[in-house]
Amino acid sequence: MFTQGPFSADNIRSLHVSLMLYGFIPLQLSLIPFVLFAKSGIGSKKGLVYLERFFLIWYIFLIFMIVTLLFGIRRNLPFYDFNYYLNYILAFAGIFYIKALNEYVKEFTIVPSWTKVFRVIIYLLPFALLILMSPNIGQVNKTIYGPHGDNTLGMSLGVLAIYFLVIKYRSCIQVKVGLNILWIVPLFGYVVSIAHRVFVGELTYNQEWFFQYLTLFFVPLLVYWSAVFRLTWKNDYILLISIFAFCFVDIEGNILFIPELKALFHRNDLVIAHAHLAVAIAIFFLSIAVVQRFINTTKLKVIIYSWSVLIICMSIFLSVNGIVQARLLNFSSETLWILRSICGFFAILIIGYFIFTLYFSKTIRLDGIAWYHLIGFLSDSMGGFLLILFGENIFNLLGFKFNGSYEYIVFGFMISVGAIHFLGFVRKTFEATAAFITAWTRIIISVLFISLFLSNRIDSIGLFVGVYDLVYAAIWIVIMSTNIDISSFAKNKKSIR
């Protein structure tokens, strides 16, 4: 049913992978150096402003990435499939991250060694991003057919640096670490692999195999860091689970790299894709370890246990499907994939609950205006997003004409109005202003749609949209506005000016 259009399998696969690499979890991990600064008693209001700008520009990148991928603008790459030029938005965001970092570093009397190293890496990242992602000279376009040994090494190096910072953050002791050779050798190997692809040419399978095996250096290094920083199960169980999952995936990936095993196991889903385990357990739990101290212990356990059960169920369904594909069991693969997708849906709900618990649970009060904004957000933003995905099918089902052009602009406008509702829902000081803006926006839109319908320039879908917006705005203006503190609105209006 959804083999073409925005919801085609290729588009959704690219979106799925890209959001794993660039979505909520990486953004959460970008806060690690700043929580370390906070632990040391270092703060900077100006740095927070720059950090907020960094997040804002990253959100803009995510919007561009999601929409372009849904419209099929892809590079046909296994991982970084969005348009290359979107990397310039990320590089621009990196400038504000660097400025935020510098503002915090200014507050130090003696700058820690790890901070000096981290600053050098961050300074280089925007340039490295544009070079490595380049379709002409970059590494990414040259790893289309796999097996991506050097690419895996590069990603693992980045994750290793994050592990060190999180372990340091979670630990209560200050120690001088050793065994640096275990990360220096893989780093040197990665630089050599990049130079070989840029200046010499493609890597052979054995060469990629060699660079892949360099990731095994990280297993003893992570065990050493866990011991020297005295991580305990009682206080650091989330981080230890993450480290165990990463080490398991590292070893599993290297075993699967053996040519005979690779050919055998990649024919079906008998062995769960280690990228799923790496992101769903190792990286996700790593991100939770960053904010573990700020979450209610009971709620955190609910998140961890629920997530673990879903991932285990997902793994079971995929494993059984592998047996079915190997023709050792007679069962429907489609049913198993539907069950796996249901697990993914509930996983999204858990992430939503996690974000709500962490950022919004203490600031939201469900009164009349909150319900107005919540329903408006769900109907507009969520409805607009669903229409972008399934608009053609929904229109055909209802008997409306779908041109596939201007409709997407309308859907985007719906999402924008829903975003204003969301701000009004989560920010009490903005709720009256947001209600005023959305109500009058709906009235203007309803007038335009009803007028277009009456002039026979649009079919009955215009009448439906116009009447819905008019009724929803009227409910607010006639009934709910009487419950709002006018002085609060006036104060917000003055601050906007």
Query: What is the residue-averaged pLDDT of the chain?
Result: 81
Main-chain phi, psi angles of 113, to 5 degrees = -60, -40
Tell me which of 54 and 492 has the higher pLDDT.
Answer: 54
pLDDT at 264: 62
Tell me which of 294 and 200 has the higher pLDDT.
Answer: 200
Tell me how far apart the alpha carbons of residues 209 and 257 are, in angstroms, rounded to a whole number. 7
Q: Is 271 left (phi over 0), alpha (psi -120 to 50) or beta?
A: beta
Tokens read off for 110: 């003696």
Pick from 257, 358, 348: which is nearest to 299 by CA? 358
Task: Please write the tens of the pLDDT for every residue from 315-325.
Answer: 788 778 877 87
Cβ–Cβ under 8 Å, residues 419 and 435: no
What residues have CB less than 8 Å from 259, skipping those under 6 apart? Answer: 205
Q: Provide mean pLDDT across the span 171-175.
A: 80
Q: Provide mean pLDDT across the span 75-95.
A: 87
pLDDT at 46: 92
Tell me how far apart the alpha carbons of residues 50 and 31 are, in angstroms, rounded to a whole number. 13
Task: Please write the tens of the pLDDT for every residue from 184-198.
Answer: 999 999 989 888 877
Rg (CA), the chain: 25
Whether 136 has a pLDDT exceeding 90, the answer reads no
pLDDT at 184: 92
pLDDT at 1: 45
Whether 487 has a pLDDT exceeding 90, the answer reads no
Domain limits of the chain? Answer: 1-144, 154-284, 295-362, 368-496
Whether 230 has a pLDDT exceeding 80, the answer reads yes
151-155, 343-347, 351-355: segment of lowest average pLDDT: 351-355
Whether 113 has a pLDDT exceeding 70, the answer reads yes
Tell me which of 39 and 275 has the higher pLDDT.
Answer: 39
Q: Provide mean pLDDT across the span 212-218.
A: 92
Q: Provide mean pLDDT across the span 23-29.
A: 83
Instruction: Tell me what percent of the residues of the chain surpass a pLDDT of 90.
Output: 16
Task: Please write the tens of the pLDDT for every residue from 47-78.
Answer: 999 999 999 999 999 989 988 888 888 888 77
Whether 468 has a pLDDT exceeding 60, the answer reads yes
pLDDT at 93: 94
335-339, 404-408, 486-490: segment of lowest average pLDDT: 486-490
Tokens read off for 133: 């992602």
pLDDT band at 140 (very low <50, low <70, confident <90, very high): low
Cβ–Cβ under 8 Å, residues 65 and 18: yes
